[in-house]
Chain A
Amino acid sequence: MIMQVGRRSFIRRITFVALGSQIPWVISCHREISLNTGGVLTEKQAEIADFTFDFLLPEDGFGPSARSIRAYPYFIWVLQDPLYDPEQKEYYKKGLDWIEEYSNEEEGQPFHTLTKNKKKGLLQKAAKTGWGESWLSSFLTIGIEALLGDPIYQCNPEGQGWEWLQHNPGHPRPNKDNRYPAILQRKAERTPITKLDQL
């Protein structure tokens, strides 16, 4: 029963994220438009997260970019997942605050006021620190999941990451009933199984 409630909640959020997932693509041209924070990030955190994904997987003409694979909306979905390790989610968010603090310390101004080059320079500098490298690494892992995850998770549109890497993702692919976390409904089943036609 608990899982069913969780699933309904999840679907509602996905619909929201799916609608919102178009926004980051738009703001690549119009930065003044707010990012969808998904109710899990502040606007400042959202902007740092979005820029960080661009920094890690840039639009450089070489393969897909964070924007084309929808890394940021995927990240919001991860943060909204009630089953995801809460400590790890907190770590992702803390790192965003650390970048803001680092910007104030190093540049004397908030991250969102920096030029694009200054933002990039700040993240390069952070990557040379222990805390920064570790946090950026965790963010890159999210980016990799978005690059190579199934498009059913609103990432890797049309399998562009797979195509770029000439990767065969295998079949069958997940559908709405057996994708994560819908498949977890099986953990709530109580009915004894005595016949093949129950399967």
Chain B
Amino acid sequence: MSKKYDVCIVGSGAGAGPVIYELSKAGFKVAVLEKGPWYRTKDLTKDEITAVRRSVYTPNLEDEPQVLEEQTEDGNWEAESTFSSGNDFWNGSCVGGSSNFMSGYFFRMKPNDFQLHSKYGEIDGANIVDWPISYEDMEPWYTKVEEVVGISGNAKAHRFKEPRSTENFPYPPLVENIISEHLDKASERLGYEMIPTPRAILSQPRERRNACYYSNYCGSYGCSSDAKGSARVALVREALLSGNCTVIPNAKVFHLETDGNKKIVKANYYDAAGTRQSIEAGTFIVAAQAVETSRLLLMSKNKEFPNGLANNQGQVGKNLLFSAGGVGGGYLYARDFDKKTFEEFMRPGVFVNRSIHHFYEYEDEKSGKRIKGGAIDFLFEHANSMTRAIKQKWDNRDHLLYGTTYKKHLSSYFKDLRKIKFEVFADWTPTDQCYIQLDPKVKDKWGDPVARIRTGYHPHDIEVGRYLAKKGEAVLKQLGAKDIAWSVSGDPPSNLQAGGCRFGTDPKNSVLDPNCKAHEVKNLYVTDGSFMPTGGSVTYTWTIYANAFRVAAHLLEVLKRGN
């Protein structure tokens, strides 16, 4: 069955939501093909078995594996299916995508992030380029996200604060744990600027969405009050009000068909029963998250595009990005604080919401060169009880604890301490060793080749990560935390992915033009994080939302012209 729409959008997460929202509201007939189901708010509970311990919000790895290529110590690359390794690389396969399960730590990229090459120069072995647009071009769209998706916070002044067109966030900050004040004082003693972390979580209700009720389970869980600014709730659900939006859940697009004149005419997909279906439309938008977006283009081969759609220059899948950095943490022991203070530390639900951007740029001690640094976020260990209990199975010598010894250890871990953590975010330097291709052997349950992801990192990222982690460690020491440890590695976080279809002005080294239209295809846009040539040193979601609003505005002009 085939039906003609104005626009067909593949995916429904942060990169798709703004386009679905804007084009539907403007009166265009929009079809959304989402590979996963539509989980209603009433479906979303705080059940750890469902949200964490089983593959409910992600595909079954036996049905839909991916292949990860990692570098061994001797420099070779080894590929292994995620079904075989158990190293699940999926995140959020459903309407709204991974934005349903984000923690919603939201930061704008900073002006220098748009000009990384010009401001900080070459790095050997890296493919760093400036963006074809500036921070000023993006600023109005960052502001729009604050209002439409809903961001709470306090825009406190600091040395790397991004220029804003409004004074403050539209929603006041969420309620904080007393630890936030302690962190402020600890960083002040060190001379570091600590700032409130903006969150894509409503602190006050608005139409069809309730305010946050501090459930204690945010990241990895769907929101039960609709306070979290997922694309599902903030944008796709709102788009239904227009009467112009059709969302087809459990529709796995496997091929985009062109007409021999570099124009897509049809999206072919499998429905929930595994039957082949198709949708015809005038314009096509792909926003399936970076890895799957590149995979779909590479799978959409034909005579016009023998190497994959929009890939006659061989750029699709190249310069994949993750977020570089690492994690650290220490323990706040009851014995080190007065009873009342410790009880306040143990208060569940309320947030830490503190970050340091003081080292977004720093001077290298040896060379005196300006280095692009990054951000440090502070947070409590996740409330997940099973995850925490499982980690306590092992003693300091990595021997299994069991019996009464384990039970006593577990009881103490839950009652006598709380772990305070930090996360380091630095640029993932783009290189030739981080990319997506189609695996020549491994297929998914429909018989299509799966994504094979090479995850090489640049050693520069490790140096920056370590520099930042030491600052995080210093703050925790000042705070009175004990047994502090951190690790920085080149392991890619699967929930922070971008790149693969860079935007730029030169078709020889970019897939998309500055409006995120494919250079080589007349009616194809890519609006997820794939467009990013560099990723900044903050989480990507706000920028993905903002860019998708920017592209939606361009598309509205194009569609209204009938072009």
- Chain A interface (Cβ < 8 Å from any Cβ of B): 1, 55-58, 60, 62-63, 83-85, 127, 133, 136-137, 140-141, 144-145, 147-150, 152-153, 161-162, 164-175, 177-181, 183-184, 186-190, 192-196, 199
Contacts and interface: CB of A to CB of B under 8 A. Distances in A.
A170 B216 contact: yes
Interface stretch (B40-48, B179-187, B461-469): B40-48
| Residue among A56, A136, A179 facing the most chain B CB atoms (10 A cut-off) | A56
Nearest to A167: B385
Interface residues of B, number: 60
Contacts of B237: 196, 199
Contact of A169 (B42, B55, B385): B385
Contact of B393 (A137, A177, A180, A183): A137
A193 B407 contact: no
A187 to B, nearest CB: 5
A174 B47 CA distance: 6
Interface string B338-354: 00000000001100000
Contacts of B55: 83
Contact of A140 (B39, B271, B402): B402
A136 B224 contact: no
Nearest to A134: B400
Given A172-B224, A174-B47, A196-B240, A190 B402 contact: no
Given A140-B402, A194-B240, A165 B410 contact: yes
B246 interface: yes
Contacts of A186: 37-39, 43, 94, 249
Contact of B47 (A179, A193, A194): A179
Contacts of B38: 186, 189, 193, 199
A190 to B, nearest CB: 5
Among B38, B400, B414, chain A packs the most CB atoms within 10 A around the CB of B400
A178 B54 contact: no
Contacts of B385: 148, 161-162, 165, 167, 169
Contact of B403 (A58, A184, A187): A58
Contact of B53 (A56, A145, A152): A145
B313 interface: no
Chain B residues touching A, majority SS? loop
Nearest to A139: B402
Contacts of B245: 194
Contact of B273 (A1, A161, A183): A1
Contacts of A55: 402-403
B494 interface: no
Nearest to A128: B399
Given A141-B390, A166-B414, A187-B36, A153 B404 contact: no
B112 to A, nearest CB: 40
B249 A193 contact: yes
Contacts of B485: none
Given A62-B404, A145-B386, A173-B46, A180 B54 contact: yes
Nearest to A190: B272
A169 to B, nearest CB: 6
A148 B392 CA distance: 14
A180 B215 CA distance: 20
B404 A149 contact: no
B49 A150 contact: yes
Given A60-B407, A196-B240, A127 B43 contact: no
Given A179-B45, A190-B250, A196-B241, 12 more contacts: A56-B402, A60-B403, A62-B411, A63-B410, A169-B48, A171-B46, A175-B45, A183-B50, A184-B56, A186-B38, A186-B94, A199-B240
Contacts of A180: 47, 49-50, 54, 56
A60 B385 CA distance: 22
B404 A178 contact: no
B389 interface: yes
A190 B271 contact: yes
* Residue of A56, A172, A187 most packed against chain B (CB within 10 A): A187
B369 interface: no
A137 B395 CA distance: 12
Interface in B368-414: 383, 385-386, 389-390, 393, 399-400, 402-404, 406-408, 410-411, 414
Interface string B226-269: 00000000000100110101111110000000000000000000
Nearest to B38: A193
Contacts of A195: 240, 243
A59 B444 CA distance: 46
A127 B37 contact: no
Contact of B216 (A60, A147, A168, A193): A168
B62 to A, nearest CB: 8
B249 A140 contact: no
